[in-house]
């Protein structure tokens, strides 16, 4: 790799942001984002597809996720993927800077197939799922929190309730900064979404439809388009054609999954 030009080096220094992450926190975020409670239903999926198609499907989607991750790695810095000087701190910021746009699976898999004992094992497994989902909930809600709180702060720039932070010290944990807007807004958001999840009669099916809708644009389309922009990939080159085929194939797979999710939602509503 060549050295960064002097101008870019100077610009990089003005764009540097303090980083607090390390390898362990990165691994923890990857596990939180990729390995979810849906992993518990993998054995049922493999049983439905068979020993040939099941493992193939797992490897196929793992390859898609890995390819998407590699493409996103080139979009961390803007406009140059290696020298920047800009650093995109979120997915939405990267998009803005690079572009300005099974049938009878039970909701509770642990108890859905008659597995009730030993009760302590069921409780322990559900506790592990809860611990994971709390962390995953925090991870995926941060962009929404950041955007909403920024809009409120811009609208009321001199409001002490929004701007002031207080130092709080609880027993056995280090002192931390607390903002009343964060506390109230995030608590209300979590309560609101939890109530919806508890009262919706076929929540799992709705989540399946939403996942089918957002998978292709967020995981496939935007990373590929940002990669084209960052690397200045010319049309009809080998790399361009391969990534276009990758995009189209994933789109067809997503449409197939979306149709299945909608069918599941309709079936659940008619039951």
**Residue 82 belongs to some domain of the structure:** no
Opening angle at CA 207, ends 202 and 212, nearest 5? 130
124 lies in which domain range? 107-199
Is pLDDT above 90 for 215?
no
**Residue 188 belongs to some domain of the structure:** yes
| Element containing residue 127 per DSSP (H, E) | helix 119-155
pLDDT at residue 39 in the model: 64
Q: Which residues, in sequence order, are bridge partners of residue 178?
A: 166
**Residue 114 belongs to some domain of the structure:** yes
**Residue 176 belongs to some domain of the structure:** yes
* The model's pTM: 0.56
Q: What average pLDDT does this structure show over 4-22?
A: 52
Q: What is the mean pLDDT of the chain?
A: 75
Indicate the SS3 state at residue 104: coil
**Structural domains of the chain, count:** 1
- Binned at pLDDT 50, 70 and 90, residue 36 comes out as low
């Amino acid at each position: 790799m060549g050295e960064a030009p002097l101008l870019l080096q100077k610009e990089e220094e003005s764009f540097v942001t303090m980083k607090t992450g390390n390898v362990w926190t990165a691994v923890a975020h990857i596990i939180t984002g990729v390995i979810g409670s849906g992993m518990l239903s993998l054995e049922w999926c493999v049983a439905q597809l068979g020993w040939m198609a099941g493992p193939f499907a797992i490897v196929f989607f793992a390859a898609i996720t890995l390819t998407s991750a590699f493409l996103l790695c080139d979009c961390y810095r803007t406009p140059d993927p290696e020298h920047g000087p800009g650093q995109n701190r979120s997915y939405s910021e990267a998009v803005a800077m690079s572009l300005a746009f099974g049938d009878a699976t039970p909701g509770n898999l642990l108890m859905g197939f008659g597995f009730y004992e030993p009760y302590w094992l069921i409780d322990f497994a559900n506790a592990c799922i809860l611990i994971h989902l709390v962390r995953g909930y925090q991870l995926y809600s941060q962009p929404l929190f950041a955007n909403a709180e920024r809009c409120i702060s811009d609208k009321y720039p001199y409001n002490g309730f929004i701007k002031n932070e207080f130092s709080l010290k609880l027993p056995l944990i280090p002192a931390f900064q607390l903002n009343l807007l964060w506390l109230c807004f995030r608590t209300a958001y979590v309560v609101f979404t939890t109530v919806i999840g508890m009262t919706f009669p076929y929540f799992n099916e709705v989540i399946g439809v939403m996942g089918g809708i957002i998978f292709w644009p967020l995981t496939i389309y935007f990373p590929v388009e940002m990669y084209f922009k960052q690397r200045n990939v010319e049309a009809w080159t080998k790399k361009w054609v391969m990534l276009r085929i990758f995009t189209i194939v994933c789109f067809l797979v997503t449409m197939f999954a979306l149709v299945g999710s909608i069918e599941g939602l309709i079936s659940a509503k008619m039951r």
